[in-house]
Amino acid sequence: MRVVVPLAEGFEEIEAVTIVDVLRRSGIQVETAFLEKNQVTGSHSITVAADKNIEGIAVSDYDCIALPGGMPGSANLRDDSRIVGLIRDMAAAGKLAAALCAAPIVLGSAGVLAGKRATCYPGFEGQLGGAIHIPEPVVRDGNVITGKGPGCAIPFALELVAALAGAEAAAALKDTMQVYWM
The 8-class DSSP code of residue 115 comes to T
Is the residue at 178 inside a domain? no
Three-class SS of residue 173? helix
Is the residue at 182 inside a domain? no
Reply yes or no on whether 120 is catalytic: no
Its sign, for the CA torsion 62, 163, 147, 128, is positive
Is the residue at 154 inside a domain? yes
- In 3D space, the residue among 79, 77, 76, 125 whose CA is nearest the CA of residue 97 turns out to be 77
Is the residue at 176 inside a domain? no
Is the residue at 36 inside a domain? yes
Q: What's the average model confidence in pLDDT over 13-29?
A: 98
Largest CA distance in the chain: 39
Q: Which of 64, 101, 120, 152 is catalytic?
A: 101
The 8-class DSSP code of residue 105 comes to H
Is the residue at 89 inside a domain? yes
Helix (H) or strand (E) holding 155: helix 153-165
Cα–Cα distance, 16 to 106 (Å, whole number): 15
0.85 cut: is pTM over it? yes
Q: What's the average model confidence in pLDDT over 3-12?
A: 98
Cα–Cα distance, 105 to 124 (Å, whole number): 7
Query: How do residues 39-93 score in pLDDT, each as one tens digit?
Result: 999 999 999 999 999 998 999 999 999 999 999 999 999 999 999 999 999 999 9
Which CATH number is 97's domain given? 3.40.50.880
Cα–Cα distance, 177 to 158 (Å, whole number): 11
Helix (H) or strand (E) holding 101: none
Domain span including residue 128: 2-171
Q: What is the pLDDT of residue 182?
A: 53
The pLDDT confidence band at residue 14, using thresholds 50, 70 and 90, is: very high
What is the domain count for the chain?
1
